[in-house]
Amino acid sequence: MNYSEQKSLTTRQPRQLLVTGGAGFIGSNFVHHWCEQYPGDRVVVLDALTYAGNRQNLAGLEEKANLRFVQGDICDRVLVDRLLQEENIDTVAHFAAESHVDRSILGPDAFIRTNVVGSFTLLESFRQKWQNQGQPRDYRFLHVSTDEVYGSLSADDPAFCETTPYAPNSPYSASKAGSDHLARAYYHTYGVPTIITNCSNNYGPYHFPEKLIPLMCINILLGKSLPVYGDGQNIRDWLYVGDHCRALDVVIHKGQPGETYNIGGNNEVKNLDLVHQICELMNELAPDLPVAPAQQLITFVKDRPGHDRRYAIDATKIKTELDWEPTETLAGGLRKTIEWYLSNRDWWQPLLSQEYQAYYQKVYA
C-alpha cells in the first residue's frame, strides 16, 4: 500500500508548508501535486522569480484560497522569519536554487549566494521557530538536492547510494553539496528535523528551455541545431518530475529526520541516444517540422568543462523503507513531455528572451 492509499485510512493533520522556489520547474510541479493531494493544507510559495522562476507555472492555483505567492529572496532573513511566523509554517520544502551547471561555469557567484547562503538563512530561521515552539515532533525541513554532489561514475562503477562520499565537480554541485552539509549539521547539532533527498535528472512540464530535453524539443521546432556536448556518451538517469514529487510527498510524511534518501528513475541513457529518441518522437508527433527528419540537426559541440561522465542512482533505500518507486517509463514520460511542449508554445516562447539569447550565445558560440 503506498502513502496516498494509507492516508485515506488514517487521520492526517493539515500542514502549513513553505515551498521555496515554487515557481521553478520541480517546485511548481510539487505545488500542483500538493494542492491536489492535500487541498486542506496551507501552501506559501516563496520565490525570487529569477530568470528560471515563472508565475505562469502556478496558473490556476493562485486563485485558490490555500495558496499564497510571495516574491522574495531566501537570503532575506527578515522576510523568511516573518513568513514562518505569520503563516505558522511547520514544513519547509526547499527547492529554491540556481540549478544550471552551464550557468555555474559562467558565473558561480549567484550559486554560492542562493544555494549556500540562502539555504543557511532558511535553516537558521526554521531552527529558531522550531526551538521557540518547543521543538515540535512533526516539523520537517525537506532539503531537495541532487545526485551531482556525488561526482562522476565510470561505466562499471556501482550506482550512487546514500553513503557514497561527496565529490562535486562543478560550482553548481559544490554549492549544493555545501547546502546538504548544512542541512545535515542542523540535525546533528541542534536536532532540527531536516531530511535530504538527492535526486537524478528530472524532466517533464515547466522545464526551463536551457536544460537538455526542452532545449532539444524547442530547437527541433525552430529548425535550430541540436548541440550535443563532447562525444554524447555521457550518461544520466532520467526521472519523470511527477514521480519525483510523489517521492518527496512520501519523504515528508514517512521519512526519518536526519536521513538522506536517494531518488532515481532507473533510466540510465547516453545523451546521444536520448537526443535520438527525442528526434524520433518529434518526427512522429510534430507536423511540418522546418527540418525533417530532426536527426539531421544533431551537431557535436565543444564539451562542457568538467563534464561528469555518468550519474546513476541506487534507490533501494527509499523503495524498501518508504515504499516508493518510479512509475513512469522513459518512453512514456518523454512522449508526455513532448506533447506538453507542443501544446504549450505560449508558455515557452516568451522564455526565449534577449537574456536567454545572450546566455545561449555565450555557451554555444
Member of 111, 139, 160, 229 binding ligand TYD (CB under 6 A):
229
The option from ligand NAD, ligand TYD, none interacting with 215 (CB < 5 to 8 A, set by class) reads ligand TYD
The option from ligand TYD, ligand NAD, none interacting with 118 (CB < 5 to 8 A, set by class) reads ligand NAD
Respond yes or no: is residue 148 known to be catalytic.
Answer: yes
Binding part of the chain for ligand NAD, among 35-43, 72-80, 300-308, 333-341 by CB under 6 A, reads: 72-80
Member of 234, 260, 262, 337 binding ligand TYD (CB under 6 A):
234
Respond yes or no: is residue 339 known to be catalytic.
Answer: no
How many chain residues bind ligand TYD (CB under 6 A)?
A: 12
Nearer to ligand TYD, 15 or 100 (CB): 100
What whole-number distance in Å separates Cα of residue 195 and Cα of residue 50?
26
Q: How far is residue 264 CA from its own chain's centroid?
A: 12
The option from ligand TYD, ligand NAD, none interacting with 227 (CB < 5 to 8 A, set by class) reads ligand TYD
The option from ligand TYD, ligand NAD, none interacting with 26 (CB < 5 to 8 A, set by class) reads ligand NAD
The option from ligand NAD, ligand TYD, none interacting with 175 (CB < 5 to 8 A, set by class) reads none
Nearer to ligand TYD, 230 or 258 (CB): 230
Among residues 362, 111, 50, which one has the least CA distance to residue 227?
362
Member of 104, 121, 125, 146 binding ligand NAD (CB under 6 A):
146
What whole-number distance in Å separates Cα of residue 128 and Cα of residue 135?
10
> Which residues inside 166-185 make contact with ligand NAD, applying CB under 6 A?
176
Q: Counting contacts by CB under 6 A, is residue 241 touching ligand TYD?
A: no
Strand 268-270 versus strand 235-240 pairing type? antiparallel
Selected catalytic residue, list 38, 139, 172, 206: 172
Q: Counting contacts by CB under 6 A, is residue 96 touching ligand TYD?
A: no
Member of 15, 21, 193, 282 binding ligand NAD (CB under 6 A):
21
Nearest approach, Cβ of residue 299 and ligand TYD (Å): 10
How many chain residues bind ligand NAD (CB under 6 A)?
A: 32
Respond yes or no: is residue 147 known to be catalytic.
Answer: yes
Nearer to ligand TYD, 97 or 215 (CB): 215
Nearest approach, Cβ of residue 198 and ligand TYD (Å): 13
CA distances, 176 to each of 53, 180, 265, 329 (Å): 18, 6, 20, 28
Q: Counting contacts by CB under 6 A, is residue 139 touching ligand TYD?
A: no
Member of 38, 73, 226, 251 binding ligand NAD (CB under 6 A):
73
What whole-number distance in Å separates Cα of residue 325 and Cα of residue 250?
11
> Which residues inside 105-134 make contact with ligand NAD, applying CB under 6 A?
114, 118
What whole-number distance in Å separates Cα of residue 61 and Cα of residue 68?
9
> Which residues inside 85-104 make contact with ligand NAD, applying CB under 6 A?
95-99
Residue numbers annotated as active site: 147-148, 172
